[in-house]
Structure 1
């Protein structure tokens, strides 16, 4: 009798919080969906710390390729970033479940992490502590524009083709990073870039990983990315690439202290002595990019999956969308505190939705699994960059698919979209691509008598970005 009473209480508790029957689901379905979402996106736990270490977020302060050999296991700062990734993902995803009651997972975004490392730190020259301060500010800005009407105005102002182009450009940029870190694309003094050598075992392992991941995803294998990363890591053992010394399956979480609240606001403001105006434009550029990319990424994920999950209200709006966006914004501020980057609502959440996930219980289960991952840091630390590089390439493929929606028939739309996409990988900067697109858009429209197609906000952004290129060193 006690067991029956206990089970009844649990069921009523879940029902009252998540409204399971109203959403035509049950506890078993939601739990399975939560596991499915986690397995599908767990690869991010392996990829994100590997990208962050290149920003200088390591005990030696090494940046770029010099940080390639550092591991999550042996470097306390990289290990702290892994802990921050787990905690941030857990808090954001559980908050999404309890506050918005939606089956979406929230975690630091790969594209935004790449922007943090390769654009903000390596290209613009900010330290990772200064970049974290910018992420924190972007989170506060995102909260502001979510609770006010500014969010709607920004969404309305940015041309649809540029929104799509930003996604596609980031995809191409991420793919380039993956190809470079996997030694498939290499530097060449004669042709700028070249193709890696098949005599290099690291190049071979990366190619194996890409082929394996692509085939598994084409066959719709659940958790294809995570599974292929694991298999590629194992293949790397006899090749001498995967280091399995001191491996342990369970370990105590690392101390998050090295990256916790490591903000450098003073350095952000006084960056490289550019003066007040130069610093202001630079900070605005970085913060706006974090905010805009996150904003449209989250909206795109929600819009793209709402129909499938039956989350469209009678008035045509997405259920609890404002709560979902606010959750994402709050998660970004928390993420910066724990030493990780801007969070995003992961499109991999659709895997859990496909399994029947319809409420926040799915997200709560996924979030709890992120917490459990805290004790797997040692196991995760052996994964080489050649095993995670394929994930960047495949994510690039997925993001580039949006380009087919761009209207290339209208040249005034095609040119800004093209420069947005092309400048990102060619200048190794997401920010430069967004700036180029926004600058070219009003130029093309005004020159062809279509100035009425341009929102006033775009003119303001274009002028700011022009000042950014004029005032700041490239």
Structure 2
């Protein structure tokens, strides 16, 4: 059996094995599993049934993960994206006053457009056009972004009084769980123990139960049947498809998703050493197609945009290199349909510590950036810092690419800039300036 898996997933070619891939998949699931709680919570504020969204979240993720694992053979996990679900609820529904059916229709149209873009390899061309130094910087920036997400999720970094950010309560029980998890993961990583992040998550969850930070299910059972999809599935609002507001919402979903996905694939693939000598990711078109189909199916099932999760870096950090990693995560997603009361006891402090450790793991590609060449160093630096400080992977890429094109052209290094890079830089400038120009 293991020989067949090795042959199908090309484990030997990618210098990995079944055990490593499975452990990596479990670790990725543990760091991504928070979405099964957070996504239903956010979309329920738009008026959607929380239980139904929970089921939709899992099924949409599993469909996309199956494609990523079997079709693309890559160790990335997909699920409804954070930020995109917030835009769905807080901007489209609550601010614009649209129905959640309207928002789902926009997500569905976005998915169809993505399928076309992926089929004609437009997204692949965008991926290939990004210079290697920016791809390496994206990896580092994502690492810092992940670390910030982890620290804020654990309430160790909070919005300060009179300052942008401040140190939170480091003496709370939640903080104790975080620091315990961080130390366990750090010590085991230092000793090169496989599965260090997963071991840390499990150990800190036990500590959290002892301290009362989390507790066992009140129902006394760890098993439950999945909620029905009936309240939200196939609830599209087709009569508003050809409206200006729909166009703007679809464009926003498109923009954020395409560059979040490209950024995530670039950064995580760079860390996994999956990029070729030109800085391209072989088979990226298949990964992008999995993302696009996942989004389309997710909209029909009743959830916001499905995208490649940056937390896939946690599995990559554990040695995951093939689709077997993503399929392992997908299997756990499917199982969680019936064991939600059990996995929900994992406290945010435990998974937050894993994200901070992953941030450390993703710093190494900075060594491949020529920091003595300021036309490379400055755009790379801007890319890195804008991701955590702008709290957006897409914005980091946006500012990084604009600065790269300007500095290269102004510095007389036109050969380093492709025509598509110039086009993208102009598009990014228009995006940044349009709200100011057009009000």
TM-score range relative to shorter protein: 0.7 to 0.9
In structure 2, what is the Cα distance between the partners aligned to 1:306 and 1:425?
A: 23
Q: Using a 3 Å threshold, how does the CA distance of structure 1 residues 86 and 191 change in structure 2: closer, same or farther?
A: same
Is residue 370 of structure 2 the alignment partner of residue 403 of structure 1?
no
Tell me the equivalent position of 1:113: 81
Q: What secondary structure sits across from 2:362 in the alignment?
A: helix
Q: What secondary structure sits across from 1:334 in the alignment?
A: helix
How far did residue 364 of structure 1 move? 5.6
Is residue 43 of structure 2 the alignment partner of residue 57 of structure 1?
yes
In structure 1, what is the Cα distance between the partners aligned to 2:175 and 2:318?
A: 33
C-alpha contact 2:314 2:358 (8 A) present in aligned 1: no
| RMSD over aligned Cα atoms | 4.3
TM-score if structure 2 supplies the norm length? 0.76
C-alpha contact 2:401 2:425 (8 A) present in aligned 1: yes
Tell me the equivalent position of 2:187: 215
- Within the candidate set 205, 210, 233, 1:233 is matched to 205
In structure 1, what is the Cα distance between the partners aligned to 2:152 and 2:87?
A: 15
C-alpha contact 2:408 2:416 (8 A) present in aligned 1: yes
Tell me the equivalent position of 1:252: 225
Tell me the equivalent position of 1:343: 307
TM-score if structure 1 supplies the norm length? 0.72
In structure 2, what is the Cα distance between the partners aligned to 1:221 and 1:52?
A: 32
In structure 2, what is the Cα distance between the partners aligned to 1:300 and 1:198?
A: 31
C-alpha contact 1:123 1:429 (8 A) present in aligned 2: no
C-alpha contact 1:50 1:385 (8 A) present in aligned 2: no
Is residue 33 of structure 2 the alignment partner of residue 46 of structure 1?
yes
C-alpha contact 1:31 1:365 (8 A) present in aligned 2: no
- Within the candidate set 161, 171, 179, 1:199 is matched to 171
In structure 1, what is the Cα distance between the partners aligned to 2:360 and 2:99?
A: 28
Q: Which digits, 9 at most, give the CA deviation of each residue in 1:147-191, with x for residues without a partner? A: 324344323322222222223222212221221121111221233
In structure 2, what is the Cα distance between the partners aligned to 1:106 and 1:307?
A: 12
C-alpha contact 1:52 1:117 (8 A) present in aligned 2: yes
Q: What secondary structure sits across from 1:428 in the alignment?
A: coil
Q: Using a 3 Å threshold, how does the CA distance of structure 1 residues 132 and 351 change in structure 2: closer, same or farther?
A: farther
Is residue 257 of structure 2 the alignment partner of residue 290 of structure 1?
yes
How far did residue 410 of structure 1 move? 1.4
How far did residue 351 of structure 1 move? 8.3
Q: What secondary structure sits across from 1:343 in the alignment?
A: strand
In structure 2, what is the Cα distance between the partners aligned to 1:147 and 1:467?
A: 26
How far did residue 377 of structure 1 move? 0.8
Larger Cα-atom Rg: 1
In structure 2, what is the Cα distance between the partners aligned to 1:437 and 1:106?
A: 24
Task: Give matches, 1:384-403, under 5 Å.
Answer: 384-403=347-366
In structure 1, what is the Cα distance between the partners aligned to 2:227 and 2:177?
A: 29
C-alpha contact 2:20 2:194 (8 A) present in aligned 1: no
C-alpha contact 1:171 1:400 (8 A) present in aligned 2: yes
* Number of equivalenced pairs: 422
- Within the candidate set 433, 446, 459, 2:409 is matched to 446
Q: Which digits, 9 at most, give the CA deviation of each residue in 1:282-317, with x for residues without a partner? A: 754542342234245446666776879xxx9xxxx9
Q: Using a 3 Å threshold, how does the CA distance of structure 1 residues 257 and 149 change in structure 2: closer, same or farther?
A: same
